[in-house]
A and B are shown apart, each in its own frame.
Chain A
Amino acid sequence: MIPLPHYLTVSAILFTTGAIGVLMRRNALIMLMSLELMLNAVNLSFVAYARLHQDMGGHVFVFLSITVAAVEAAVGLAILLTIFRTRATVDVDNLHLLQR
């Protein structure tokens, strides 16, 4: 059996990768994907901890978090679509109307 710390380490690495992706990448679609990666990393640690505590709660949280991630993706893509319609690009460097 794979011990618990392995799961947690993978989860932490995935989360960090996702966070770096959101902060560094300039393509909005890749940023969205990184965001999903972060949420899924959290799901992994929820399941691992649920196993540790022999508690079903953690498994249920994963379902809730998957639902939230789906909703976020839907809204995020919709917002991206409106941006793409007016600017024909999803590069976030083009979003600078509001900086002074």
Chain B
Amino acid sequence: MDATALLESTGALLPHLTVLVTGLVILTLDLFLTPQSRYLNEVVGLIGLLVAFLFTLSTAGAPRQVFMAMAVVDYLGAFFNATFLLIAALTILLSASYVRREGVSAGEYYALVLFATTGFMFVAAAADLIMVFLAIETLSIATYILAGLLREDPHSQEAAFKYFMLGALSSAFFLYGIATIYGALGNTNLVNVAQALGQGDFSPLLLMGMALLIVGLGFKAAVVPFHMWAPDVYEGAPTAVTAFMTAGPKAAAFAAFLRVFFQGFTTPDMVQHWAPIFAFLAALTMILGNFVAMAQQSLKRMLAYSSIAHAGYAFVALVAHNTLGASSILYYLVAYTLMSLGSFTVLMVVARREGPLYAFDDYAGLGTTHPLLAAMMALFMFALAGFPPTAGFAGKFYVFSAAVQAGYYWLALIGLLTSVVSVVYYTRVVMLMYMREPNGAQPIPRLAPTTMAVLGITAIGILYMGIFPGGVMRLAEHSVAFLFQAKM
């Protein structure tokens, strides 16, 4: 690899490197900040993300492999980059007041968020299985630390430990899967894997490798039966981090699924091996996620199960190996990002400092004491439940039509029925807010402008994507088009 190729490759990965450098800058800058100038952390972070977004726009194009076919820059990566940058930006905004309230050291916090974001972006840019592994490790290790950020809080410690143990276990499975596939094919580049499979290269070893990859990635996406860490970790982690974790690593895991299974194991006879497994996992995830969510006593834990259920819906689209399936995953991830970050922001604002944490009762009468916040929360709950005209409805519509198009009628039916079940626990929150008297819980402090901004952006985004789903959907279709071009 000569100097020009190196320079060209670096240029192609400018968005990723910008985020990484921004994280490093914040880490250093934080040493020189006084409590009055601490806001510069957020400002620098947001500017870095904006620059990275502009670089993403300028580098997007037809697929080209860089760094000796380790990474790839294409429209799919660009779409995911934009999603991840949005997640990071919203996380920085929603954390601004949280970090001050909880006394978290802001420099490390934002740096870790940005490092994790770098990991997300590299997952979406991975052209080689080993690159997928390294990127997933980058984001996982950053999120392990984030989960344990409240060092003195036993809940946070426990969340970090559980997340670390099961995360590392799943990474080992994933790596073993890569080793097995490397053994079967002698190659780990996803395009070469697809070519080798196209020539009928096939062995039981390959199937075993694929199964291990599904286990490894399934853990990261918190798909049943690999979900057992998720409720505990989401409940114990600091709320701002939980919001980040339900959106970011989940979207990154789906990016990895798309890269590995839609770009690598994409030949028809491989698809017929993995599609039924995915269908089974999706069905299990939707059923368990929604039914267990109904029984929860803490809103944070309920949202954790709801997050598992939503991974199930996105998984339904994965089963449908076609353009609609792939693009509806992208659409669903953006929609879920907005809904999840929005609802966790409300959770963060309403959370009490003592007594039972995140109890449903905190929301009693919120409609009269804090109408704006209650209206926002109602919107997020309706969106998560999938009512029109929100992004949640459009997302589910696309996902289920993808399943129907691929002939998985029973899966779409399970999806619809479990969505109905989910209405029960989402509307419970809405009923509490509007139909119960306030119970004299401590007043909610005035919202910080940054928090207002997050609520505004997510609410407008959800309504926009729900009323005009075409815009984002067209972008998504454009991004995944190349995955299916070869076969058509």
Asked if B145 and A71 make an inter-chain contact with CB atoms under 8 angstroms apart, the answer reads no
- A55 to B185 CA separation, bound complex (whole angstroms): 11
Asked if B176 and A86 make an inter-chain contact with CB atoms under 8 angstroms apart, the answer reads no
Asked if B179 and A98 make an inter-chain contact with CB atoms under 8 angstroms apart, the answer reads no
Contact of A98 among B133, B141, B158, B187 (CB under 8 A): B158
Asked if A75 and B141 make an inter-chain contact with CB atoms under 8 angstroms apart, the answer reads yes
Given contacts A45-B183, A49-B183, A97-B236, contact A83 B157 (CB under 8 A): yes
Given contacts A42-B175, A45-B176, contact A76 B182 (CB under 8 A): no
Q: Is B348 an interface residue (CB 8 A)?
A: no
**Which of chain A's residues 22-62 have a Cβ closer than 8 Å to chain B?**
22-23, 28, 31, 35, 38-39, 41-42, 45-46, 48-50, 52-53, 55, 57-58, 61
- A20 to B152 CA separation, bound complex (whole angstroms): 31
Given contacts A79-B160, A80-B161, contact A98 B168 (CB under 8 A): no
Asked if B172 and A35 make an inter-chain contact with CB atoms under 8 angstroms apart, the answer reads yes
Asked if A61 and B148 make an inter-chain contact with CB atoms under 8 angstroms apart, the answer reads no
B-chain residues with CB within 8 Å of residue A18 when the two chains form the complex:
172
Q: Is B169 an interface residue (CB 8 A)?
A: yes
- A23 to B158 CA separation, bound complex (whole angstroms): 17
Asked if B182 and A65 make an inter-chain contact with CB atoms under 8 angstroms apart, the answer reads no
Q: Is B273 an interface residue (CB 8 A)?
A: no
Q: Is A64 an interface residue (CB 8 A)?
A: yes
A22 to B, closest residue via Cβ: B169
Given contacts A35-B172, A75-B164, A79-B164, contact A98 B152 (CB under 8 A): no
Asked if B160 and A35 make an inter-chain contact with CB atoms under 8 angstroms apart, the answer reads no
Contact of A68 among B137, B158, B235 (CB under 8 A): B137
Asked if A75 and B182 make an inter-chain contact with CB atoms under 8 angstroms apart, the answer reads no
Number of A-B contacts (CB under 8 A): 112
Asked if B183 and A52 make an inter-chain contact with CB atoms under 8 angstroms apart, the answer reads yes
Asked if B151 and A72 make an inter-chain contact with CB atoms under 8 angstroms apart, the answer reads no
- A80 to B157 CA separation, bound complex (whole angstroms): 8
Q: Is B165 an interface residue (CB 8 A)?
A: yes
Q: Distance in Å from the Cβ of B1 to the closest Cβ of chain A?
A: 14
Residue among B168, B169, B297 with the most chain A CB within 10 A? B168
Report the contact-size class of chain B (Cβ under 8 Å from the partner): 35 or more
Asked if B169 and A28 make an inter-chain contact with CB atoms under 8 angstroms apart, the answer reads no
Asked if B161 and A72 make an inter-chain contact with CB atoms under 8 angstroms apart, the answer reads no
Residue among B179, B182, B183 with the most chain A CB within 10 A? B179
B-chain residues with CB within 8 Å of residue A42 when the two chains form the complex:
172, 175-176, 179
Given contacts A42-B175, A49-B183, A72-B168, contact A98 B188 (CB under 8 A): no
Asked if B188 and A57 make an inter-chain contact with CB atoms under 8 angstroms apart, the answer reads yes
A-chain residues with CB within 8 Å of residue B398 when the two chains form the complex:
none
Asked if B186 and A53 make an inter-chain contact with CB atoms under 8 angstroms apart, the answer reads yes
Given contacts A58-B182, A82-B148, contact A35 B169 (CB under 8 A): yes
- A78 to B148 CA separation, bound complex (whole angstroms): 10
Q: Is A100 an interface residue (CB 8 A)?
A: yes
> What mask results when residues 139 to 178 of chain B are scored 1 for a CB within 8 Å of chain A, else 0?
0010011001001101101111110110011011001101
Asked if A15 and B161 make an inter-chain contact with CB atoms under 8 angstroms apart, the answer reads no
Given contacts A42-B176, A49-B182, A57-B188, contact A76 B158 (CB under 8 A): no
Asked if A79 and B157 make an inter-chain contact with CB atoms under 8 angstroms apart, the answer reads yes
Q: Is B271 an interface residue (CB 8 A)?
A: no
A23 to B, closest residue via Cβ: B169
A-chain residues with CB within 8 Å of residue B165 when the two chains form the complex:
22, 28, 31, 35, 76
A-chain residues with CB within 8 Å of residue B231 when the two chains form the complex:
98
A-chain residues with CB within 8 Å of residue B145 when the two chains form the complex:
75, 78
Q: Is B288 an interface residue (CB 8 A)?
A: no
Q: Is B130 an interface residue (CB 8 A)?
A: yes
Given contacts A82-B151, A82-B157, A97-B155, contact A38 B137 (CB under 8 A): no
Asked if A61 and B151 make an inter-chain contact with CB atoms under 8 angstroms apart, the answer reads no
Q: Is B108 an interface residue (CB 8 A)?
A: no
Asked if B175 and A76 make an inter-chain contact with CB atoms under 8 angstroms apart, the answer reads no
B-chain residues with CB within 8 Å of residue A22 when the two chains form the complex:
165, 169
- A95 to B164 CA separation, bound complex (whole angstroms): 13
Q: Is B134 an interface residue (CB 8 A)?
A: yes
A-chain residues with CB within 8 Å of residue B154 when the two chains form the complex:
86-87, 97
Q: Distance in Å from the Cβ of B358 to the closest Cβ of chain A?
A: 12
A8 to B, closest residue via Cβ: B183
Q: Is B42 an interface residue (CB 8 A)?
A: no
A-chain residues with CB within 8 Å of residue B169 when the two chains form the complex:
19, 22-23, 35, 38
- A61 to B133 CA separation, bound complex (whole angstroms): 10
Which 8 pairs show the lowest CB-CB distances between chains A and B?
A49-B183, A53-B186, A38-B172, A98-B232, A45-B179, A42-B175, A95-B158, A79-B160
Sample of 8 more A-B contacts, CB < 8 Å, known A38-B172, A82-B151, A95-B161: A23-B169, A38-B176, A45-B179, A53-B182, A65-B175, A72-B171, A79-B161, A98-B232
22 pairs across A/B with beta carbons < 8 Å? A15-B172, A22-B165, A45-B179, A45-B183, A46-B179, A52-B186, A57-B182, A61-B130, A61-B178, A61-B179, A61-B188, A64-B134, A68-B133, A68-B171, A72-B164, A79-B148, A82-B157, A82-B160, A83-B161, A86-B154, A86-B157, A98-B159
